[in-house]
Amino acid sequence: MNVETLLQSLGPPATAYQGGNLTVTSPGDGAILGRVPETLPADVSPIVDRAHAAYRRWRLVPPPRRGELVRVFGEELRASKEPLAHLVSLEVGKIRSEALGEVQEMIDICDFAVGLSRQLYGLTIASERPGHRMMETWHPLGVVGVITAFNFPVAVAAWNAALALVCGDPVVWKPSEKAPLCALAVQAVFERACRRFGDPMRTADLLQLAVGGRDVGRAMVVHPRVALLSATGSTRMGRDIGASVAARFGRCLLELGGNNGITVGPSADLDLTVRAVVFSAAGTTGQRCTTARRLIVHEAVHDRLVQRLQHAYGSVKIGPPLEEGTLLGPLIDAHAFEAMQAALAQARSEGGRVFGGERVLEDRFPHAHYVKPALVEMPEQTAIVRQETFAPILYVMKYRALADAIAINNAVPQGLSSSIFTTDLREAELFISATGSDCGIANVNIGTSGAEIGGAFGGEKETGGGRESGSDAWKSYMRRATNTVNYSGELPLAQGVRFDVVP
Ligand code: UN1
């Protein structure tokens, strides 16, 4: 199916992807997919104002009814799963199965949010004063600005939108400039849900797009009516956004860089380990924020594991994302390829032994960047290992005592995901304990990537501290009020304070 037919089936109007100045190319073969008109930075304010007007209406709708819109959105996503996944593959180069998985992640978060729409619970709290009741209530927060990266062009927006919508908040979404078509398609799917929900003119304002680059993002970041800015991207970008949003006392949810480590203990099941490491490190061509970038291996299994990984790396099929059997699609663009080569050169200069990493399929796809995944044996955790390079590079290091492995795991600025492979219960428990991994995600006998939506997703340190998706991440999208109700005829003051006035 060509891209035009695909887009027509998904629903955005042709004017949304033709004749604009943002040229979208496919990382798979360099073909032009569309020319999208960009939002002008000056147009961001009216978009936010429309969203704010929608907020004033939407917050009056009971949460379970808000959940109904998200339920219908989930149904529409199910109906569009195939074409939307196809578009994800074309626009960002994800292999078929991972693209389908990404749309499934959207469906899952919709289901989660529908249930949540009846569970936005507050607490009741024991009051120290007689005849008083204390409680917490949660209310809609306001407009949520969402900035997403190319690598999850639809799922991360859905994590935010599904929760925001049941919490009573409209969304203004700035997708990556590298993936605006996916965003246009999602918006069209959402509009179909709005039409089925009823009252389309009003609910459509609950999910608006602002397509463009940094200027457009900046206009959202500084806008006083954007109550929560949820951003996924680099640590550099997050530092900028965090400071600007904090300066106006807005709220931020940051999901930034990861530099995720897998520790492999001497008792590890190596069959399991090899499969998990290859998926985590090379899958998605190393372009997940949860990608495993460091392998910390006990000296007793190091050589055996490296050998098996080299073998497994050699058997991974690299090719066009939609071709049968492909496990590794392209890098997103030339810039990503250059960053990968620069990192490998630096690793060599820091004593690394590089296996793989070279460009392939250049004859067939001169305008795309396919690479062999790289395994790099490092003498220690040098400067390049402490950086996140968004490419399939796995640095391998040795350890002797688990305490050293944990220290290596934690000695990077980022703190998103981590895991340990071991069949030793004590090692596993220690790794996930208070003195173990310092990351937001710490797993046992599974890789660092591919989290389910039910858990809170995010990480510590330079990863930004935000939590999205499951568990109680919804609380970021609401404002909390503490209410104390006096149903007595007296006016006792807290802490025993006396302040007697004659009424
Ligand atoms: C991201 O790379 O920005 O855990 C998100 C995972 C996915 C989400 C990744 N569920 O790998």
DSSP calls for 109-145 = HHHHHHHHTT-----EE--SSTTEEEEEEEEE--EEE
> What pLDDT, on a 0 to 100 scale, did the predictor assign at position 200?
63
| Side chain identity, residue 476 | S
As a whole number of angstroms, the distance between CA 101 and CA 452 comes to: 11
Q: Decide: helix, strand or coil at residue 354.
A: strand
Q: Is the CB of 450 under 6 A from ligand 1?
A: yes
Taken in order 451, 453, 454, 455, the sign of the CA dihedral is positive
| Nearest atom within ligand 1 for CA of residue 417 | 4
As a whole number of angstroms, the distance between CA 320 and CA 339 comes to: 21
> What pLDDT, on a 0 to 100 scale, did the predictor assign at position 137?
98
Whole-structure pTM value: 0.97
As a whole number of angstroms, the distance between CA 107 and CA 162 comes to: 9
Q: Is the CB of 151 under 6 A from ligand 1?
A: yes
Phi, psi of 448 (to 5 degrees): -85, -20
Q: Which residue has the tokens 């391998």?
A: 396
Single out the residue of 475, 441, 390 nearest to residue 149, CA to CA: 390
Distance 388 CA to ligand 1 centre (A): 15
323 is an active site residue: no
Radius of gyration of the chain (CA): 24
Instruction: Retrieve residue 42's tokens.
Output: 């000056």
Segment 306-363, tens digit of pLDDT: 999 999 999 999 999 999 999 999 999 999 999 999 999 999 999 999 999 999 999 9
Q: Which of 288, 441, 448 most suits a substitution to test ligand 1, by most atoms within 8 Å of the C-beta?
A: 288
Q: Is the CB of 232 under 6 A from ligand 1?
A: yes
**CB neighbours of 56 closer than 8 A, spacing ≥ 6?**
none
Q: CB count, 10 Å around CB of 196?
A: 14
Secondary structure, 3-state, 422-467: CCCHHHHHHHCCCCCCCCCEEEECCCCCCCCCCCEECCEECCCCCC
> What pLDDT, on a 0 to 100 scale, did the predictor assign at position 199?
73
Segment 165-207, tens digit of pLDDT: 999 999 999 999 999 999 999 999 999 999 999 976 578 899 9
- Is it the case that residue 241 has pLDDT exceeding 80? yes
- Is it the case that residue 232 has pLDDT exceeding 80? yes
Distance 290 CA to ligand 1 centre (A): 6
Taken in order 290, 294, 296, 302, the sign of the CA dihedral is positive
> What pLDDT, on a 0 to 100 scale, did the predictor assign at position 329?
98
**CB neighbours of 460 closer than 8 A, spacing ≥ 6?**
415, 438, 439, 440
> What pLDDT, on a 0 to 100 scale, did the predictor assign at position 201?
57
As a whole number of angstroms, the distance between CA 171 and CA 162 comes to: 10
Segment 117-147, tens digit of pLDDT: 999 999 999 999 999 999 999 999 999 999 9
As a whole number of angstroms, the distance between CA 444 and CA 425 comes to: 10
As a whole number of angstroms, the distance between CA 196 and CA 77 comes to: 13
Q: CB count, 10 Å around CB of 358?
A: 12
- Is it the case that residue 1 has pLDDT exceeding 80? no
C-alpha angle 125-126-132 in degrees, rounded to nearest 5: 100
Task: List strand residue ranges (DSSP E) for 259-369, in order.
Answer: 260-264, 292-298, 353-355, 359-360
- Could you tell me how many residues make up the chain? 503
Kindly give the interhelix angle for 81-92 and 96-116, rounded to the nearest 10 degrees.
130
Distance 450 CA to ligand 1 centre (A): 6
Q: Which of 97, 146, 290, 332 most suits a substitution to test ligand 1, by most atoms within 8 Å of the C-beta?
A: 290
Distance 289 CA to ligand 1 centre (A): 6
| Nearest atom within ligand 1 for CA of residue 449 | 11
Q: Is the CB of 288 under 6 A from ligand 1?
A: yes
Distance 458 CA to ligand 1 centre (A): 9
Instruction: Retrieve residue 216's tokens.
Output: 């457009």
- Between the two ends of the chain, the Cα-to-Cα distance in Å is 79
Q: What mean pLDDT, rounded, does the chain reach?
A: 97
**CB neighbours of 393 closer than 8 A, spacing ≥ 6?**
286, 293, 340, 343, 344, 347, 357, 373, 374, 376
255 is an active site residue: yes
Mean pLDDT, residues 375-397 taken together = 98
Segment 35-67, tens digit of pLDDT: 999 999 999 999 999 999 999 999 999 999 999
Name the region of 281 (left: φ>0; alpha: ψ -120 to 50; beta: rest): alpha
Q: Which of 449, 452, 453, 467 most suits a substitution to test ligand 1, by most atoms within 8 Å of the C-beta?
A: 449
Q: Which residue has the tokens 């640590």?
A: 235
Q: Is the CB of 448 under 6 A from ligand 1?
A: no
Instruction: Retrieve residue 99's tokens.
Output: 């693209």
- Is it the case that residue 469 has pLDDT exceeding 60? yes
Phi, psi of 21 (to 5 degrees): -100, 0
